[in-house]
Each structure stands twice: as C-alpha cells, then as structure tokens.
Amino acid sequence: MSKSISGFSKLSKSHKIDWIVATYFNNNEDAKNIIKQYWNSNIKLQQLHDEFIENTITNYYLPFGVAPNFLINGKMHAIPMAIEESSVVAAASKAAKFWLERGGFKAEVLSTTKIGQVHVMFYGDPKTLQSFFKHVKPKLIQATKTLTKNMEARGGGILDIELRDKTQSLDNYYQLHATFETLDAMGANFINSCLEQFAKTFREEARLFNGFTEKEKQVEVIMSILSNYVPNCLVRAEVSCPVEQLTENTSINPEEFAKKFIQAVKIAEVEPYRAVTHNKGIMNGIDAVVLATGNDFRAVEAGVHAYASRNGQYSSLTHAKIEAGIFYFWMEIPLALGTVGGLTSLHPLVKLALELLHNPSAKELMQIVAVAGLAQNFAALRSLTTTGIQEGHMKMHLLNILNQFQATDEEKNTLINHFKNHTATHSAVVEAIKDLRLKNNK
Ligand code: MEV
C-alpha cells in the first residue's frame, strides 16, 4: 500500500512532485520530466493556472480546435472546441458547411430561469409552517439586498421563493425553492450566496416566531445549494430544408436518406441504450464548446441528461420529421452558461474563445452551444445511416496510431496517402507501418 501524507497542500510545488515521484514512481526521473515538460515557461501564466485549483503540479493539455462556417440566425461563427476525441471537430465543420448551403441554423432561447433550494426538516404542523413562510418571505428577500443589488441593477436577481412540502417523499422534508435570473453570469456563486443567506434568516426568524411551539422553532437546515437541473433555462436549435436538398456525399437518394435519418432519431427516442450513445454524440459538440468557453461541463452534462429523462425514460434530445416536403431536425436543451465571471476573463484562452465568438451574451452562447450539439448529432447520424462511422473515424484516428508508433513525418505522409484508398482499421495501420519499416530497412 502507498504511503499517506499529511500537510501535502502545504508543500511547495517541487516538493509535492518529489514526494509523488518517490512514492509512486520509484524516484524515476522520467516521471518528473513528464510532469515538468508541461509547465509553461511564462511564469505568470503558469502561476495563474497553478492557482485555478489546489495541489497543482503541472498542466493537462487538451487540443483547442476550431470549426468554421457555422451560420447561426444569419451570423457567421467559427466555433472553438476543446476536446481530445478525433473526428469531432471535423464532423462539426462538415455539418456546418452542409447547413451553410441550406440556410444555416436557427436558434432561440426559450427561457433563462435558474433554481436553488434550501433543504429543511421541520417537525410540526405544516399549516403553521406555511404561515411562518408568509411572514418570513419578505425578510428573506430583504436580507439578501446587499447580495442582489448589482444583479438587480442589471435586470436580474431573485424571481421568487416558494415553500414546497416534500413530506410525501421524505418525512418532515420541506424546501425553500427559489428561482433566479442571473443574466450573463452562470450564477452559481450568486445563487449559493443568496441561498445561504435565506437559510440563516429562515433559521433565525423561526427561533423568534411566536406561532411556533418550542419544537417547531428548531427547524433544521440540511443544506443550501443551486440545482444543476435547469429545465427552465432552455434553448432550441433547428435546421430545415426541402427533402430533395438532402444530397451531397450520401450513397442513397435524399428521400431514402431523410426516412432512414428520421428512423434513427425515432430509435433513440424509444430505446435508452441507443439514446445514451446518441446523446453522447450531441455532448461531444456541447462539452467541447462549453469547455473552450470556460464553462462548467459537469453541470451541463448532469442537467442535460436529467432533462433527457424528464418523461420517466431516458430518451433522445433531438427530434426530426418531414412536413410538406420539408425536413426538420431540432433539439431543445437546458444550458446554464456564463460569459462573465468564473474563468471567462481570467483564462487567456477562454477569453480568446469568447472573443472569437464576438463576445456573446450568455443567451447567444446558449444558442451557439446548442447548435454545436445539433450539428454533431446530424453528422453522426448522417455517417451512421450511410457509410458507418468507422471509415471517417479511423482516417482521423490514423494519426493517433501513427504517433503511438512514433512515425516520422515521412512515414506519416506515406501512410496517410496509402489509407486514402484503403480501409484504415487499427490492425491494418499497424501492419502497414511494420511493412513500411521492413521495406525501408531492406
Ligand atoms: C462517438 O463519440 C459518438 C457517436 O457514437 C454518436 C452516435 O452514435 O450517435 C458516433
């Protein structure tokens, strides 16, 4: 068993590395070199990254790519994407180009409300709790005035607080269920600060409330936290075109393609095993933009998948139909995003990504991110229902395999050319590089 350590966080960066390399890598200098290889020579930039989290020993790079040619509501965008998976950026770019020639994407923000809850246990008469809530609600709002002042000046703030009786689900359980408008901020800090203040005031006022018995005065606050489930912070993205325009690069005719595509979506609507993979493909696009723009992709993931199960069964996020000869493909998803606060002005690459997107408002970013997800799903379904994904995917993966074999530039060029006309399976690539090396050594 490895050794435990106390006071690790207090060690300097190089002492942390020394301890890790001694404890887990048998003092192997190679491990130390790999860690250090990712340090940035710009000391200030490195310090900035060190301070984003705790116990930082190095940086973890992800490729930052760009998918151009996205026409969204009549405006052109090149979309930044941070992702490690090959083919995703290529697929997004391809879908963007395809829809550019067919009127582009339309996107609309349907709502922007976020939610936070104070979870409370109350041991007494629910009616008395209701009358206490009426009495305390204005005090809760008043107590957060210093926190909400700036947000209110910009047009946001607390929209409402409700008392919810959850005792059907759990004995003595109630909630202060609050709704917020946080404008261009993701709002997690704002919401959590308001909630903690609600909790404090709620508990203090309960102790003073004459209508309560001594037992009822002891309301117990379990926790106060925002919800990452935001079904009322919703954006819709859509593409449409006459069925006969669904041509280009498909091995089948447009009508047949449209029918097959719609069946593929319907399968994901009714079959959870397929829906998860279908939605994973959508999240390839969404997470990559969310990450590039410094937003919290775990929050987005959790909220989107909860939304995909809102009717009791996990289902497709996208939908498709043909109506009067027009093919429609669309998606509505919840996205709580920010374009101010958090990493947005702190991380130079995030700042650059937002600049690349013309410094969007949170609503505009919701539209862009949703479009990236829809484009990704279109590209995946187009491949799956026609050629299959492996053909394109393995071509993109080719470089990864060649890099694993430390192929030289010359070897890479030869083999990339070779696989233009051959099926690039993993074993075929391995064989080809071995053959090439044998030949070259002769
Ligand atoms: C791979 O990352 C994503 C796909 O599996 C999505 C899909 O099956 O729809 C291609």
Q: For 7-34, what is each residue's pLDDT tens digit?
A: 999 999 999 999 999 999 999 999 999 9
* 33/44 same-domain check: yes
How far is it, in rounded angstroms, from Cα 54 to Cα 34? Answer: 20
Question: Cα of 246 to ligand 1 centre, how many Å?
Answer: 21
234 lines ligand 1 (CB under 6 A): no
Which mutation among 280, 287, 377 tests ligand 1's pocket best, with the greatest number of atoms within 8 A of CB? 280
- Identify the pLDDT of residue 352: 98
Q: Cβ(337)–Cβ(187) under 8 Å?
A: no
Q: Atom 2 in ligand 1: which residue has the minimum CA distance?
A: 281
* pLDDT over threshold 80, residue 56: yes
How far is it, in rounded angstroms, from Cα 348 to Cα 328? Answer: 38
- Identify the pLDDT of residue 388: 83
Report, as an integer, the average pLDDT of 117-143. Answer: 98
* 69/45 same-domain check: no
Question: Cα of 27 to ligand 1 centre, how many Å?
Answer: 41
Question: Cα of 61 to ligand 1 centre, how many Å?
Answer: 23
- Identify the pLDDT of residue 2: 64
Q: For 363-376, what is each residue's pLDDT tens digit?
A: 999 999 999 999 99
Number of domains within the chain? 4
Q: Atom 6 in ligand 1: which residue has the minimum CA distance?
A: 281
Q: Atom 7 in ligand 1: which residue has the minimum CA distance?
A: 278
**Residue 393 Ramachandran class (φ > 0 left, ψ -120 to 50 alpha, else beta):** alpha
Tell me the HSE value of 429 on the side-chain side, using a 13 A CA sphere: 25
**Residue 172 Ramachandran class (φ > 0 left, ψ -120 to 50 alpha, else beta):** left
* 359/432 same-domain check: no
Handedness of CA 89, 92, 96, 102 (dihedral sign): positive
The vertex-294 CA angle with 90 and 277, nearest 5°, equals 45
Tell me the HSE value of 370 on the side-chain side, using a 13 A CA sphere: 33
Question: Cα of 277 to ligand 1 centre, how many Å?
Answer: 6
Which domain-ending residue is among 165, 200, 226?
226
Do the domain assignments include residue 59? no
Q: Atom 3 in ligand 1: which residue has the minimum CA distance?
A: 281
278 lines ligand 1 (CB under 6 A): yes
Nearest atom in ligand 1 to the alpha carbon of residue 85 is 2
Closest CA relative to residue 308, chosen from 319, 297, 293: 319
- Identify the pLDDT of residue 343: 87
Q: Cβ(84)–Cβ(214) under 8 Å?
A: no
- Identify the pLDDT of residue 391: 73
In this structure, the dihedral spanned by the alpha carbons of residues 372, 375, 377 and 382, taken in order and rounded to 10 degrees, is -160
Do the domain assignments include residue 83? yes
* 157/267 same-domain check: no
389 lines ligand 1 (CB under 6 A): yes
Active site residues: 85, 280, 296, 393
Q: Atom 10 in ligand 1: which residue has the minimum CA distance?
A: 380
Do the domain assignments include residue 290? yes
Do the domain assignments include residue 1? no
Q: Cβ(233)–Cβ(111) under 8 Å?
A: yes
Report, as an integer, the average pLDDT of 184-194. Answer: 96
Handedness of CA 316, 318, 321, 323 (dihedral sign): positive
- Identify the pLDDT of residue 249: 61
* 280/339 same-domain check: yes
* 162/283 same-domain check: no
203 lines ligand 1 (CB under 6 A): no
Q: Cβ(363)–Cβ(112) under 8 Å?
A: yes
71 lines ligand 1 (CB under 6 A): no
Question: Cα of 355 to ligand 1 centre, how many Å?
Answer: 30
385 lines ligand 1 (CB under 6 A): no
Question: Cα of 384 to ligand 1 centre, how many Å?
Answer: 8
**Lookup: tokens for 314:** 């996990």
281 lines ligand 1 (CB under 6 A): yes
* pLDDT over threshold 70, residue 1: no
Q: For 299-322, what is each residue's pLDDT tens digit?
A: 999 999 999 999 999 999 999 999
- Identify the pLDDT of residue 326: 98
The domain containing residue 333 runs over which residues? 64-111+231-387
Which mutation among 81, 94, 277, 381 tests ligand 1's pocket best, with the greatest number of atoms within 8 A of CB? 277
Report, as an integer, the average pLDDT of 409-419. Answer: 90
What is the number of other CB atoms lying within 10 angstroms of the CB of residue 398?
Answer: 22
Which mutation among 284, 286, 378 tests ligand 1's pocket best, with the greatest number of atoms within 8 A of CB? 284
Do the domain assignments include residue 235? yes
Do the domain assignments include residue 207? yes
* 250/203 same-domain check: no
Question: Cα of 89 to ligand 1 centre, how many Å?
Answer: 13
* 128/218 same-domain check: yes
* 246/374 same-domain check: yes
- Identify the pLDDT of residue 399: 85
To the question of pTM greater than 0.85 for the whole model, the response is yes
CATH assignment of the domain containing 154: 3.30.70.420
Percentage of the chain lying above the pLDDT 70 cut = 98
- Identify the pLDDT of residue 250: 55
Report, as an integer, the average pLDDT of 385-403. Answer: 81
Q: Three-state SS across the chain?
A: CCCCCCCHHHCCHHHHHHHHHHHHCCCCHHHHHHHHHCCCCCHHHHHHHHCCCCCCCCCCCCCEEEEEEEEECCEEEEEEEECCCCCHHHHHHHHHHHHHCCCCEEEEECCCCEEEEEEEECCCCHHHHHHHHHHHHHHHHHHCHHHHHHHHHCCCEEEEEEEEECCCCCCCEEEEEEEEECCCECCHHHHHHHHHHHHHHHHHHHHHCCCCCCCHHHCEEEEEEEECCCCCCEEEEEEEEEHHHCCCCCCCCHHHHHHHHHHHHHHHHHCHHHHHHHHHHHHHHHHHHHHHCCCCHHHHHHHHHHHHCCCCCCCCCEEEEEECCEEEEEEEEECCCCCECCCCCCCHHHHHHHHHCCCCCHHHHHHHHHHHHHHHHHHHHHHHCCCCCHHHHHHHHHHHHHHHCCCCHHHHHHHHHHCCCCCCCHHHHHHHHHHHHHHHHC
* 123/141 same-domain check: yes
Which domain-ending residue is among 187, 204, 226?
226
Question: Cα of 357 to ligand 1 centre, how many Å?
Answer: 26
Q: For 207-255, what is each residue's pLDDT tens digit?
A: 999 999 999 999 999 999 999 999 999 999 999 999 999 987 656 899 9
- Identify the pLDDT of residue 419: 87
Do the domain assignments include residue 367? yes
Nearest atom in ligand 1 to the alpha carbon of residue 377 is 9
CATH assignment of the domain containing 101: 3.90.770.10
Which domain-ending residue is among 226, 254, 284?
226
* 18/155 same-domain check: no
Residue 177, C-beta contacts closer than 8 angstroms, at least 6 positions apart: 115, 117, 161, 162, 163, 164
Residue 249, C-beta contacts closer than 8 angstroms, at least 6 positions apart: none
Q: What is the band of 47 on the pLDDT scale with cuts at 50, 70, 90?
A: very high
Report, as an integer, the average pLDDT of 102-112. Answer: 98
**Lookup: tokens for 219:** 């309301």
* 124/192 same-domain check: yes
Report, as an integer, the average pLDDT of 158-164. Answer: 98
139 lines ligand 1 (CB under 6 A): no
Do the domain assignments include residue 173? yes
Provide the mean pLDDT of the chain. 95
